[in-house]
Amino acid sequence: MYDAGKILIGLIIFLAFATYPFYSNMGKAVAKPEPKLDTPVIQKMEVKKCVESKEFMRAEHMQLLNQWRDAALRRGERLYKASDGRTIQISFQNQCLKCHSNKKKFCDECHSYAAVKPYCWDCHFAPKEAKR
């Protein structure tokens, strides 16, 4: 090898970048997020059902919220027709956060795992939670 010293330094830098995810997580066991559904409102429900199916909500709640916002505030439509035929009053505070009044144990549980910080709470009140 010619210029072995320089080549090695280069390769070590390359390795440091390329394997970063492996060594920075070495030996870590990360708990999976478990959003809690044990709020008073949900506990009182007979059929425990969200606005849409659970799979849909998990993947698409951010888009649903965006649609709700646009519908309510830009077009003045405050009723949402769910895919199972129910008609639901559109409201962030009085729907989502009424049932999911445990923001820290629900929304934040997933969001801190996925490293997303919705800016909604700049304006919208997070529900008051009983300190445990």
Partner 1 sequence: MGALLSFFVVIVLVLIALVGVKGAGLYALFGIVIPYAAVTTFILGVILRVIKWSRSPVPFHIPTTCGQEKSLPWIKYNKLESPAGTLGVIGRMALEVLFFRSLFRNLKTELRDGPKLVYGSNKWLWLAGLAFHWSFLIVLIRHLRFFTHPVPAFVNMIDSLDGFLQIGSPHLLMTGVVLLLAVTYLFLRRVFIPQVRYISLPADYLPLFLIIGIATSGILMRYFYKVDIIKVKELTLGLATLNPEVPAGIGVIFYVHLFLISSLFAYFPFSKLMHMGGVFLSPTRNLANNSRMKRHVNPWNYPVKVHTYEEYEEEFRDKMKNAGIPVEKE
Q: Specify whether the backbone of 3 is left (phi greater than 0), alpha (psi in -120 to 50) or beta.
A: left
Chain position carrying tokens 């003045």? 76
Helix, strand, coil content of the chain in percent (nearest 5)? 50, 5, 45
C-beta pairs of 15-22 under 8 Å, 24+ apart in sequence = none
Considering the complex, state which of residue 14 and residue 40 has its C-beta at the smaller distance from partner 1.
14
Q: Which alpha helices (DSSP H) does 19-106 contain, by range?
A: 20-24, 40-44, 54-69, 97-99
Give the dihedral of Cα atoms 70, 73, 45, 116; nearest 10 deg: 50
Interface residue with ligand HEC among 62, 81, 86, 89 (CB under 6 A) is 62
Residue 79 CB, nearest distance to ligand HEC (Å)?
A: 11
List the single partner that 81 binds among partner 1, ligand HEC, none, CB under 5 to 8 Å by kind: none
Q: Does 113 bind partner 1 (CB under 8 A)?
A: yes
Candidates 28-36, 85-93, 98-106, 124-132 — which segment interacts with partner 1 by CB under 8 A?
A: 28-36
Interface residue with ligand HEC among 57, 86, 112, 126 (CB under 6 A) is 57
Instruction: Kindly list the residues in this chain that would bind ligand HEC in the complex (CB under 6 A).
Output: 35, 37, 42, 48-51, 54, 57-58, 61-62, 64-65, 68-69, 72-73, 90-93, 95-96, 99-100, 106-107, 110-111, 114, 116, 118-120, 122-124
